[in-house]
Structure 1
């Protein structure tokens, strides 16, 4: 990064002209996302087996994880056995979701499922100040069957319940999860963006190795965990 890594300075009329040109592309992207969402609503679905997961109150059928709602979003949180601090990306991603009650109006629920044993998973949830409902698939093939096997990556899956029958309607992983995050949406508005080496940025813009600016799980715990509450 140079000492003068700044966008060029122009008059207001030139700035408005460039902004309007960019806005036209942004609006086109919005319309494309609308079209993608419309196609998502037309996807077929796959019937799921009658899985049993482990919740805070004990074993629970997948159909009962919905808690009476018809739609369910599941974030499969990466889990490394024996580690005090789990995946910082998953920890940071799920720490965003502190107010999910609005999903009630859409007959939906959003939960975390992890391969970790339920007691360890709940302890970690408390340690990092996570507020989402957590379930364990340690004794079930559910995680592996929906793209998040033991020692595997993270994933987002969506399910629809019809009575006691559950169907899988959508799945994504990798950068496909970014659309659910407000962090990247806000960072991408900034003049310097994510400041990662892979991004297309003007010469002299600040850039760092990928992930180097992400908060560590320990840092997230310091901000949102029980120790942070006692400091208030």
Structure 2
């Protein structure tokens, strides 16, 4: 969407909506069209934010000699890019002190696994954790993941620089870019506890978890005391 384009007011677009469903009331249709106008405004705002994100100046140069081990052996930071110019790294809360990985991280990654090959057409996607690679691979097999590329942060240096300076086993999403042989930080998810609104869990916008996007379309919503599990058999 070009910022110079004149947009039709959202309320006007909503009135062009011809959707009607069996036995709906006028009260429902009026409320639904009002909601549709807000949804149109939300779509426009999401696009404005995406444009602003894409227009960010390049971040700091990546200088650390970060060392990883992947499913195919040792790797340095540049190796994680493969043949792409953009690298997305999800830091997975599965450090060696955990008996099992974080259920929320696992839920997100399970949804990303199905999109990984599509994402990989435009950017490299890597999942980095602090546990040994054989432990990560074992859980990958247990979960049935096929598309995700898992790596161990061998020294912890990457995680300390881009996830937690205090060496906490925390989650993060970071995006890096490689131009003319130089790797730079581009963007990271910075919404957390300090930026959370009252009564809401810390989360990004748009939320990277499809689970919440789906549940937000339901009358029950995402709730305030339900979270995904690693296993529903018990």
Secondary structure, aligned partner of 1:46: coil
Pick from 109, 118, 126 the counterpart of residue 94 of structure 1. 109
In the alignment, what sits opposite 1:120? 135
Offset of residue 79 of structure 1: 2.1
Q: Normalising by the residue count of structure 1, what TM-score does the alignment of the two structures yield? A: 0.76
1:194 matched residue in structure 2 = 222
Matched, 1:110 2:138: no
Unaligned runs of 5+ in 1: 1-9, 197-208, 223-232
Structure 2 residue runs of 5 or longer lacking an equivalent are 1-22, 193-202
CA deviation after TM superposition for structure 1 residue 30, in Å = 1.3
Alignment of 1:29-40 (within 5 A): 29-40=42-53
The whole-number CA distance in structure 1 between the counterparts of 2:163 and 2:98 is: 22
What is the correspondence of 1:48-197 to structure 2 with a 5 Å cutoff? 48-49=62-63, 50-97=65-112, 98-106=114-122, 108-131=123-146, 132-148=148-164, 150-172=167-189, 174=192, 175-176=203-204, 179-196=207-224
More deviation, 42-51/179-188: 42-51
> CA shift at 1:11, angstroms?
4.9
Q: CA deviation at 1:178?
A: 5.7
- Distance in 1 of aligned mates of 2:24 and 2:70: 59
- TM-score relative to the length of structure 2: 0.75
Post-superposition offset of 1:57: 1.8
Residues 36-57 of structure 1 show CA distances to partners (whole Å, capped at 9, x for unaligned) of 1111111122111242211112
1:71 touches 1:159 (CA, 8 Å); kept in 2? yes
Indicate the RMSD between aligned Cα atoms, in angstroms. Answer: 2.1
Q: 1:132-164: per-residue Cα shift (whole Å, max 9, x none)?
A: 110111324001111246433201111111254
